[in-house]
Every structure is written in structure tokens, then in C-alpha cells.
């Protein structure tokens, strides 16, 4: 184990480098302030009318939406305003934006917030309703499509309204866009960060040196995309470890069943593997993480959170830190500004990688018997000394 720890110090400071950061050239929107717009083909009306669609509630959706709004404020597309508490959900934030935002350029339609609440029947109806509204009423100028379901539903040629796909785990593998370089549709843009999950797995393997990695995920196109299974299998082939799978339920209305399926899989995997990769899905949340951690720690299993440091706080051994919402929000706001100024969504640069940071939980390391050297601790950006309990 000490040799493994030595390897991760080299990895973090050398191959990956904690200072890794994609330097983004300021886009056109930032160079043309909104008070001097240079739109090539402006709409016949002003301001742009924005809509929101999600497959169902997810904490990241609110955070990405809030970060994008802050970016729009910073760039001058929205007048300065104090946003409500970050504890609000996306629905509450959208309603607040519709009532309170002042802008010459953007308006948030109060009746254009859509959520399928993870119900397939609702999803099909909402998809049809939004597309019909865009084609017939033509009162929506751009849609924030949050997550994989929303991206899959609106990234098509059944309409031609600009679509911004945000917070989709893997827009390429899930079939939303053609590639990182080309969405495949003139009106579609999807932010991609293809290296994030691959980096996670390489860091985790260098740290632990596992030979059998347990992964619980829903055995569906979306479930495999959420888990980034393609990247898991790629890193497994290169590093010659075995992936042990267990299938769960994820995007279903009854979250208690999703949680139950995850806990059942963790129970099943724990005696069969020597590490667990905790993937993003409906059944992994504040209700289930303490139970997942309890099972893993009982079996002395190192764990890695795909989501980020929020789960490390609750006892997962390690992760990359949560997404840098500020930098992503500024990037998305700049992209939106370019579209307002006449750039095709397809022409936007979709690739945006974030800074690589590491989170560790020292208490978990103590419980499972992993020795952490001082230089490893020095390489970490976030360190938790206790296992906290969600409120």
C-alpha cells in the first residue's frame, strides 16, 4: 500500500498535475459587450426567451443553472442582482429568475420550466409538448436542456430552436451529439469534458492498485453513460484489472426503489471486489451514501466518488473535487452570449475541461486501514477529517 501511495503522489504532481487547467480563449461574446451587440441575425423581437427542461430533479442542475446566471451577470447580459439561497432547487430558482431578473437581452419564461420527474410517460409528453411549442407557438428562443434525458429529447431535427445541453454525464456515448468537436446539429451545443472520469479512474487505480473494481449502475444506454462505463473499461484494459458489475435501477419515479437497488448491489459486490467506484445515479444520494460507506468500510474497501467531494465529506475515501461551477458557468455564459450575437450553436467549442483537484477523507482511511503519507496529503486540495452525516 505504501508503494501505491508513492505512485499516486507522482501521478498527481506529474502526469496529471494538480495545476492542469484548460486555458480558454475569451469567446466572441465577452469581446462584444451586450450594450453593443453585433448579432448577425437577431430575432425579430427582444429579449431572447429562455426555457428549461430536465429529466428530473438533480442537485447539479441547480448548481449549473445558478453558475450560468452568475456568468451572464458578470458579462453584462443580466443586470446585477443577488440570487436566492443556493439551497433552492432548480424549479424554485427558475421561478425566481422569471419574476426578478432584469435584462434587455434575456427573459426567463415562467411557463417554460419543464421536468419529467424521472417518469417515462411524462418525459414522452413533455418532449412532444416542447417541440410542438417551439414549432407552432415559436415563443421559445433557446432551451437549457439539463442532463441526459433532456439532451436526448431535444438534440434532433424535429425543431430548429437553439439547445444548450448542460450537465449530461457523457453526451457522446448517450447519443446526444456526434463528437466533442461537432454536435451534428446546427442548433445544438453540448458541453463535454471527456477526460474527467478517465482521470478519476487512473488516479484511483494508482492510489489503491486494485485488481477487481466493483461498479453498480443501471444496465441501459443512459445508465452506462452516467457511469462512464466506456472509460471504466478502457482504463481496465490498459491497467489489467477486472470490472465486476452489478445492475441497479436509476431513473425511476420511486427513488426508494432506486436506493434499495444500489444498496443491494453494494452488499453483493463488497465480498467480491477490492475497491468500489461509486457512480452517479438516482439511487446514490444523501439517503444512501452513509449506508454505502458503512458497507464498504466494514469490508475495508477503498471507495471513489464519481460525483465529487460532497460524497467524500460523507465518508467515501476519495474523489476529484466537485465541478468548478464558477469557471463552467462563465464558459457557458460566454457561449450563450456568442449565440445571441449570431454564432451558430454548432460552431461553439464544446470541450471544456476543469481543474483537477483531489479530495480525501482521513477518517475513512483510518477506518479501512490505509496509510496516508504526508506528501499525498499535501497533494490534496480538500481534506475531511471526520465522516459527516447528511442533514
pLDDT tens-digit series, residues 303-352: 999 998 889 999 999 998 776 788 999 999 999 999 999 999 999 999 98
The predicted structure's pLDDT at residue 32: 40
All domains of the chain, ordered by start, with CATH?
A: 2-18+195-322+357-384 (3.40.50.2300), 28-194+323-347 (3.40.50.2300)
The predicted structure's pLDDT at residue 31: 35
Q: How confident is the model at residue 27 (pLDDT cuts 50, 70, 90)?
A: very low
What share of the chain has pLDDT > 70, as a percent? Answer: 87
Close Cβ partners of 120 (under 8 Å, ≥ 6 residues apart):
none
Element of type H or E holding 9: helix 2-10
Residue 74 has pLDDT above 90, yes or no: yes
Closest residue by Cα to residue 68 from 121, 157, 145:
145
pTM for the whole thing? 0.76
Mean pLDDT, the chain, rounded, equals 87
- Beta carbons of 61 and 167 less than 8 angstroms apart: yes
Residue 290 has pLDDT above 50, yes or no: yes
Residue 45 has pLDDT above 70, yes or no: no
Longest dimension (CA), the chain: 65
Span 347-367, average pLDDT? 90
Span 151-163, average pLDDT? 98
Burial 65-83 (b: 16+ CB within 10 A, else e): bbbbbbbbbbbbbbeeeee
The predicted structure's pLDDT at residue 236: 97
CA atoms within 13 A on the CB side of 194: 13
Higher pLDDT among residues 17 and 176, named by residue? 176
pLDDT tens-digit series, residues 80-128: 999 998 777 999 999 999 999 999 999 999 999 999 999 999 999 999 9
Residue 17 has pLDDT above 70, yes or no: no
Amino acid at each position: 500500500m505504501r508503494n501505491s501511495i508513492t505512485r499516486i503522489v507522482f501521478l498527481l504532481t506529474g502526469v496529471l498535475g494538480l495545476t492542469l487547467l484548460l486555458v480558454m480563449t475569451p469567446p466572441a461574446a465577452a469581446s462584444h459587450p451586450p450594450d453593443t451587440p453585433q448579432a448577425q441575425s437577431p430575432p425579430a423581437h427582444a429579449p431572447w426567451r429562455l426555457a428549461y427542461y430536465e429529466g428530473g430533479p438533480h442537485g447539479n442542475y441547480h448548481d449549473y443553472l445558478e453558475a450560468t446566471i452568475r456568468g451572464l451577470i458578470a458579462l453584462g447580459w443580466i443586470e446585477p442582482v443577488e440570487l436566492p439561497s443556493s439551497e433552492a432547487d432548480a424549479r424554485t430558482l427558475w421561478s425566481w429568475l422569471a419574476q426578478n431578473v432584469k435584462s434587455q437581452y434575456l427573459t426567463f419564461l415562467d411557463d417554460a420550466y419543464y421536468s419529467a420527474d424521472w417518469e417515462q410517460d411524462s418525459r414522452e409528453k413533455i418532449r412532444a409538448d416542447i417541440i410542438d411549442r417551439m414549432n407552432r407557438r415559436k415563443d421559445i428562443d433557446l432551451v437549457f436542456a439539463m442532463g441526459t434525458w433532456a439532451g436526448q429529447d431535444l438534440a434532433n431535427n424535429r425543431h430548429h430552436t437553439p439547445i444548450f445541453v448542460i450537465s449530461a454525464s457523457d453526451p457522446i456515448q448517450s447519443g446526444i451529439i456526434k463528437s466533442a468537436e461537432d454536435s451534428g446539429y446546427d442548433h445544438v451545443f453540448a458541453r463535454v469534458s471527456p477526460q474527467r472520469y478517465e482521470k478519476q479512474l487512473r488516479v484511483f487505480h494508482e492510489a489503491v492498485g486494485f485488481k477487481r473494481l466493483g461498479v453498480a449502475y443501471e444496465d441501459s444506454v443512459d445508465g452506462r453513460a452516467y457511469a462512464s462505463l466506456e472509460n471504466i473499461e478502457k482504463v481496465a484494459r490498459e491497467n489489467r484489472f477486472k470490472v465486476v458489475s452489478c445492475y441497479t435501477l436509476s431513473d425511476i419515479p420511486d427513488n426508494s426503489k432506486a436506493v434499495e437497488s444500489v444498496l443491494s448491489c453494494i452488499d453483493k459486490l463488497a465480498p467480491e471486489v477490492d475497491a468500489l467506484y461509486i457512480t452517479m445515479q438516482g439511487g446514490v444520494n444523501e439517503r444512501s451514501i452513509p449506508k454505502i460507506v458503512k458497507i464498504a468500510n466494514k469490508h475495508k474497501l477503498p471507495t471513489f466518488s464519481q460525483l465529487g467531494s460532497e460524497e467524500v465529506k460523507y465518508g467515501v475515501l476519495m474523489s476529484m473535487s466537485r465541478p468548478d461551477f464558477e469557471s463552467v458557468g462563465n464558459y457557458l455564459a460566454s457561449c450563450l452570449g456568442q449565440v445571441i450575437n449570431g454564432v451558430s450553436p454548432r460552431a461553439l467549442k464544446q470541450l471544456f475541461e476543469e481543474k483537477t483537484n483531489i479530495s480525501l477523507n482521513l477518517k475513512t482511511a483510518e477506518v479501512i486501514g490505509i496509510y496516508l503519507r504526508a506528501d499525498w496529503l499535501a497533494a490534496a486540495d480538500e481534506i475531511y477529517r471526520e465522516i459527516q452525516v447528511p442533514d
